[in-house]
Structure 1
């Protein structure tokens, strides 16, 4: 009998059981599919960062000195040694070694003394020549004369060397010339310094200004420095040599070069997991290499260096440089913030789906209410009724969960760092399955009979409601406090849902009061429709709590997601402006002359079309690091970042900039008493010396020191320090370093140093922005081909294409869409659940003469208050969440820039959501009105 009863009730409940099955299937499929999809997005974002970092230089390298020991063989075999890079990675272990790919080997010699030919500049008293073997350089330069140096030197011929055009002109040589160099003697091996001759095989120019030249500027531009203890100048140059130059020099007795093996991480699959597996062995890679290659060989008696063996070659100890681990640490911090933000959307979706499940079970039990009463009257126990309902529902939940899991696994991308999460899927299925017996027990439990007991029960119910509401409010406050203290995680990510529940409870308390006020005004009106609609809405307000919760949470999540996306979108523009400074910026290390167009607007030309374009305004900023002494107390500040700039140039580049206006007003004054230069200071520097100012002594080898005095005339506020004009300069200043900004007079007085940095800001002077090609060509003409150019438009495109930023937007869009669908389903079920009561009221009024138009208006007025409450509550929740999470909502990691971006509300999205809720109410009212009109008189009388 029980089996037939279960089958009969299953057939009667098929629509609602199918609804439960769909919800469980979707949750299980998301648990299997979404983590893998998110992992693929993370892998893509990490590969973007790794590729960008590798463009600037190797992420992992191993270096050692290619030594000439007393017991070294005559044949060095540099080619074999550089090819031993793959053997070095074997000490990482097989799994990690497969993730590292050799990117080539290089070697560098220290400076030798160039004895011939003498440079044409009579001020040069000595010349220093450094040698480098860089196979990767060939793709970043072009030869204007001759050819690259040969890797194999003919017997008896001198090794070949290639020089840049600027270096060749400084030395007065060309292709085919010979260079004579003397190297430092190795103590204990040679009494006389070894000499070597080189043949200039070619002259080259940098092919383009790219990241390869960062830190390698000496390959293109020679450097001049004052000679110590004389009035002359030292000329330092660098040239490119072939592979076997080290072999030739070693046989001549020259101490071996610094050999470097470069490696690149091969993160082709699950990039995040592979990088994590690689960074563990990398942390002790250097110790493992030295333990494996330097044990048992002792110390060289002549030099005292540790003897190691790489292959058959003796070397010094090995040094590992790991730039992948810091990159991964920075990426992990940003990834954790993205996951935390995604947790809010995922938890909100889970809460909406759970609420939809509760509504579906309520509707299922309401449809079976008469049968349950009949079975109860015939003697069925509460336990039997609960088990029958569970048997009906529990046959559906496991099948739907397994089907959803299989579907999600089939759709999930393979080979990503994300893996399916079976535990959340099981938890979702268990929670859905537990809702059925719990709500069934609440529906069929034995009612209280005594009137006094019923009165006491109502009082107890009121007290329980107050206690429950206070508990929810306190729990929401505690959750917000925990979020602000430690940040979101898997559990605390559900706090917004708890806050939404608190908002709903407040709305349920406030909405009857508002509706009663409306009732007082409706009583004074002539028509009865407004009064009846407000009265029914006030009467039904407590019963709409679940639908209100679904709508508030759904709208709140959508508003919060729109606010996050709008904030990030606006912050990307700020981050790109901070990185570029203006329309573009160019940075180069070392002193350079001011460009010709620095003082005004210079016409540019499009390199591709060869036609004139809009002029480009430029401004030069020089960055130096000086030691300063307080004039009042004599306190010494060892590192102060001194930025010198012409305020007029800065105003021309950025006329609307607050920093440019401030500097033009403060630094335009002439030097004060004693020749003190006006300066604007950062707050920490101003606090160190409030009255007397600072003095600095800048010395250059071979020349008298220059004494300077700076008089504070202004302080950089936090807003001025965050001005985009300082972005490219601030990127070169270590964190915590005090800053002093001086004018063009100070720039002329401070002598140039090798470590100086020059930043050129560029902005279009025409009505429209200058093209990136024009900006780049102007920057290269001004600072040379090795300047690192950053264009704001290109920086903005790169930020918008970032994998994590796009992934976060995808998560919120998908979660909001799924929550909206689930919310619509819950709302439709809730309307179906309360439709009979509204239909009874309307039918009763129709028997009293209520017309069809008034009936539609009554339906609309009954549904309007919950819709208004949900729109107001959802909007407030979405706008309140970011403020509640202040301190933990770090969106700067996605946008860059000096400060947290200002929160920006997506007002079009809010208007669209409110319009959607209004349209939903109108559609529901129209549907019920149409159904009411189709009822015949008998059905109307039965309902009435």
Structure 2
């Protein structure tokens, strides 16, 4: 018995080896598919994670260049010591110890990059500023060491960090502030600070020495964003009288806080600026920071603070040995991460379409390969079955041949993917997905083998209605697919794509294929009807064979339609995003370039560069009252523009044409003349019958009422015009908008909450260069202006990690799907070539010529090529329209509106031509092989 069993095992092993050698080409196809998919499971997540990390770092670096994303602040308790003192240097040195309270690894990813302190605005007692009468002057003090790199002192010197005992604290002022105050280097300022409740009965006074006057220098890192008050003074209406208040801010030295504390001034607001280090796996580090930052304030209070003060009720804290008030944490990183997560989720959802399509094409390729493998072994399997081999034995024999190949290919693919995967990213290989891929391919072999060799079910009586049952099953299957597709589309449109609903395009492709297979017989019957009337028989036979083979080519048709449809869909997404990036860059800059500065600034007339057209826009915030009902609407964004300037900058702009036609710019506006205005729909709805009035307080004058007369309503297209992009970026969402003439700017005083936007358009190539535009903008609005150039903005948008990653996913997915589809097509044509060759050989024995046989091969495959081209194009154009509500491509392009879908027709034509040429090349190959066949081979096939 032992010898018999050993001999049987040896025979089985020889049989496995022999069948493995015979099936080597098809096993190589299975191995190639498994190897490629396993390598993708190891490489693609790491690569995608690197793109996400890059995109997040771009956003974080851009935000941190403008202002710190994380900051800590507190107020030292000055009067806890005798005499009162503030150790500002000790407090700033203690800043790095505050990050130790971040739990987990978060402390290693956050560092203190600087600090400073600020005093609330105090009243300037002397000297009184020259010029128009002011009801008061407010002076703010700031210690900001990082500002020195962005200043140039035109007289005097920076304020000293250590001044001799008994001398006044030193202060540096900007040239504009010094002129507004009427002081210079060496002047003394007497300032009255607010009294400290519970400690002082009268406000303390202090004397400051102007050590120098500075000018702001150009900063490429947006240093002046949010710090414009250090360079430009502002004026605003006095709340208690009809006059105006002049507000300025100056820079002081490090020991100014201690000197002011000795004069009885309360402690300043100490601020530490923190920087998040997101090098390496940025997304993982940001997520690790989010949790600790959410309870960072509570952790600081628990570690550094004790019981509440009995007088004020505030916690008493100690930082660096100095008693302070509660610590306040300002976290702007978490909202930025939340916004990025939404964009990243949208990119992942869009990527699932390409990934699921690739998986479906790969599975179809595996199915075709196994079908061909079983077709080649059909006679052998029947012989083994006739000799008594069981179904289980035949299935296990097939598995013994295929499973080792699949396992080795999966391991090699995984190893290659891991070797090529970039390290140090937030993405990690997916071994579970790779195992699922290999298992799916491995289980396809026994399943299809079982279906091929199972014994037919015996019935008591033969069924006469077998064709009717087959038709009924087909109808049920098609209805199931249609219902599943409709349900998937509805779910996808209502809740957006996810890992499961991303497969809906595959169902749509299957529905398109079913529709084509239903249309096949009808169209071919029409062709047959015409072919019968012709004299030749080749056309009739070719159409008849194509109609007969249509159901058998369903899988090849599905692969071609899905591959072509995915490629067309990917081209549409890429083209739409690319066009949308240009629109988003135009919306961000408004013209070739734009410059934005806080407050209302009127450039000098000689600052306009040669070859450059400019348009000035002033933004104000007003409270308006309806003239009909007196209802107050606040706040309202009021934009003062010159329509002629806008029309010169953008001659083809619909908004500029509307403003030029509606806003009349006649004689110089005065306080009694009504100002024409265009209103946003929300503002127009609040006052449909009358106009609006607003009260302003010019410098040193009585309050004045401005009357705005509506002359039209801004349409959605006008509100989305790029000319308004830089202005609306300064307006909170939902704020009503009013656009009026530039004459309003002469009647309204400057506002600290307002801003000025300068649009620049180059007339010549030299003037349109980024360097020339930046120079012209800085010369007009000063070095503290935030300048954006359209070409640079567009380059930054195109280099965004999410945008590039999405394009890479669709390019790689379409390429791999095309390769898998090509393999599936070759295998499918090989699978069905025997029947076509048999028909051709039979006709050749009846006298058909070699040339006519070639035409016959061509005609048999021509319907497949045409159906694939029509179905793939239909799928690629239909999918975006069905899924339009889920394609929020605005996340990648910027701009106010969803970009319009733009089909890449050139790519579509190339893809259709490629598929058609591929199928027809197969027909030519079959015809060439048939012509070289000898008479004996022809007779054997016939």
Q: Which moved more, 1:112-121 or 1:868-877?
A: 112-121
Which residue in 2 is equivalent to 1:387?
396
Cα 1:24/1:51, change in 2 over 3 Å: same
Cα 1:595/1:345, change in 2 over 3 Å: farther
Asked if residue 571 in structure 1 is aligned to residue 580 in structure 2, the reply is: yes
Asked if residue 441 in structure 1 is aligned to residue 472 in structure 2, the reply is: no
Aligned-residue CA RMSD in angstroms? Answer: 2.5
* Alignment partner of 1:631 out of 615, 627, 630: 627
Question: Using the alignment, how far apart are the partners of 2:195 and 2:709 within structure 1?
Answer: 51
Asked if residue 921 in structure 1 is aligned to residue 919 in structure 2, the reply is: yes
Total equivalences in the alignment: 929
Question: Using the alignment, how far apart are the partners of 1:86 and 1:697 within structure 2?
Answer: 49
Question: Using the alignment, how far apart are the partners of 1:377 and 1:428 within structure 2?
Answer: 35
Which residue in 2 is equivalent to 1:417?
426
Question: Using the alignment, how far apart are the partners of 1:231 and 1:939 within structure 2?
Answer: 109
| Alignment check: 8 A CA contact 2:234 2:750 kept | no
Question: Using the alignment, how far apart are the partners of 2:434 and 2:285 within structure 1?
Answer: 26
Map Cα deviations across residues 509-552 of structure 1 (whole Å, 9 max, x no partner).
Answer: 11221122112222223333322222221111110011111111
Which secondary structure does the structure 2 equivalent of 1:858 belong to?
A: helix
Shift of 1:232: 7.1
Which secondary structure does the structure 1 equivalent of 2:163 belong to?
A: coil
Which secondary structure does the structure 2 equivalent of 1:704 belong to?
A: coil
Map Cα deviations across residues 696-754 of structure 1 (whole Å, 9 max, x no partner).
Answer: 33346864332233332211111111111111111112111222222234343344433
TM-score (norm 1): 0.94
Cα 1:399/1:206, change in 2 over 3 Å: same
Q: Which moved more, 1:518-527 or 1:670-679?
A: 670-679
Which secondary structure does the structure 2 equivalent of 1:82 belong to?
A: helix
Which residue in 2 is equivalent to 1:608?
none
Map Cα deviations across residues 245-298 of structure 1 (whole Å, 9 max, x no partner).
Answer: 2222223332111000110111112111110111111112112222322223x4
Shift of 1:836: 1.3
Shift of 1:203: 3.0
| Alignment check: 8 A CA contact 1:72 1:314 kept | no
Which residue in 1 is equivalent to 2:15?
5
| Alignment check: 8 A CA contact 1:89 1:100 kept | yes
Shift of 1:832: 1.0
Shift of 1:69: 2.6
Cα 1:639/1:124, change in 2 over 3 Å: closer
Which residue in 2 is equivalent to 1:936?
934
Question: Using the alignment, how far apart are the partners of 2:99 and 2:865 within structure 1?
Answer: 64
Question: Using the alignment, how far apart are the partners of 2:145 and 2:553 within structure 1?
Answer: 73
Question: Using the alignment, how far apart are the partners of 2:486 and 2:235 within structure 1?
Answer: 66
Which residue in 2 is equivalent to 1:522?
531
| Alignment check: 8 A CA contact 1:69 1:300 kept | no
Unmatched segments (≥5 aa) in structure 2 = 1-10
Question: Using the alignment, how far apart are the partners of 2:725 and 2:236 within structure 1?
Answer: 30
| Alignment check: 8 A CA contact 2:541 2:856 kept | yes
Shift of 1:852: 3.0
Which residue in 2 is equivalent to 1:368?
377
Question: Using the alignment, how far apart are the partners of 1:619 and 1:385 within structure 2?
Answer: 82
Which residue in 2 is equivalent to 1:609?
none
Shift of 1:855: 2.5
Which residue in 2 is equivalent to 1:77?
87
* Alignment partner of 1:652 out of 623, 640, 648: 648
Q: How does 1:653-802 map to 2 (within 5 A)?
A: 653-668=649-664, 675-699=673-697, 703-766=701-764, 770-802=768-800
Question: Using the alignment, how far apart are the partners of 2:575 and 2:713 within structure 1?
Answer: 33
Which residue in 1 is equivalent to 2:908?
910
| Alignment check: 8 A CA contact 2:125 2:192 kept | yes
* Alignment partner of 1:55 out of 53, 62, 65: 65
Map Cα deviations across residues 126-179 of structure 1 (whole Å, 9 max, x no partner).
Answer: 543322111221222233344433333344444433222222333444445544
Question: Using the alignment, how far apart are the partners of 2:722 and 2:562 within structure 1?
Answer: 38
Question: Using the alignment, how far apart are the partners of 2:434 and 2:583 within structure 1?
Answer: 41
Asked if residue 318 in structure 1 is aligned to residue 327 in structure 2, the reply is: yes
Asked if residue 846 in structure 1 is aligned to residue 855 in structure 2, the reply is: no
Q: Which moved more, 1:890-899 or 1:280-289?
A: 280-289
Question: Using the alignment, how far apart are the partners of 2:453 and 2:496 within structure 1?
Answer: 43
Question: Using the alignment, how far apart are the partners of 1:869 and 1:673 within structure 2?
Answer: 73
Which secondary structure does the structure 2 equivalent of 1:96 belong to?
A: helix
TM-score (norm 2): 0.94
Asked if residue 130 in structure 1 is aligned to residue 128 in structure 2, the reply is: no
Asked if residue 26 in structure 1 is aligned to residue 36 in structure 2, the reply is: yes
Question: Using the alignment, how far apart are the partners of 1:304 and 1:843 within structure 2?
Answer: 102
Which residue in 1 is equivalent to 2:96?
86
Cα 1:673/1:224, change in 2 over 3 Å: closer
Asked if residue 641 in structure 1 is aligned to residue 634 in structure 2, the reply is: no
Question: Using the alignment, how far apart are the partners of 1:717 and 1:768 within structure 2?
Answer: 36
Which residue in 2 is equivalent to 1:607?
none
* Alignment partner of 1:544 out of 550, 553, 570: 553
Question: Using the alignment, how far apart are the partners of 2:192 and 2:737 within structure 1?
Answer: 43
| Alignment check: 8 A CA contact 1:672 1:678 kept | no
Question: Using the alignment, how far apart are the partners of 2:363 and 2:670 within structure 1?
Answer: 73
Unmatched segments (≥5 aa) in structure 1 = 605-612
Which residue in 2 is equivalent to 1:295?
306
Asked if residue 377 in structure 1 is aligned to residue 375 in structure 2, the reply is: no
Question: Using the alignment, how far apart are the partners of 2:694 and 2:158 within structure 1?
Answer: 47
Cα 1:856/1:42, change in 2 over 3 Å: same
Question: Using the alignment, how far apart are the partners of 2:600 and 2:918 within structure 1?
Answer: 67
Which residue in 1 is equivalent to 2:5?
none
Asked if residue 344 in structure 1 is aligned to residue 342 in structure 2, the reply is: no
Question: Using the alignment, how far apart are the partners of 1:18 and 1:174 within structure 2?
Answer: 86
Which secondary structure does the structure 1 equivalent of 2:703 belong to?
A: strand
Which residue in 1 is equivalent to 2:879?
881
Cα 1:472/1:817, change in 2 over 3 Å: same
| Alignment check: 8 A CA contact 1:228 1:701 kept | no
Asked if residue 266 in structure 1 is aligned to residue 293 in structure 2, the reply is: no
Question: Using the alignment, how far apart are the partners of 1:454 and 1:137 within structure 2?
Answer: 93
Cα 1:322/1:673, change in 2 over 3 Å: closer
| Alignment check: 8 A CA contact 1:386 1:441 kept | yes
* Alignment partner of 1:560 out of 542, 550, 569: 569
Cα 1:15/1:729, change in 2 over 3 Å: same
| Alignment check: 8 A CA contact 1:578 1:724 kept | yes
Cα 1:640/1:76, change in 2 over 3 Å: closer
Which secondary structure does the structure 1 equivalent of 2:585 belong to?
A: helix
Cα 1:271/1:933, change in 2 over 3 Å: same
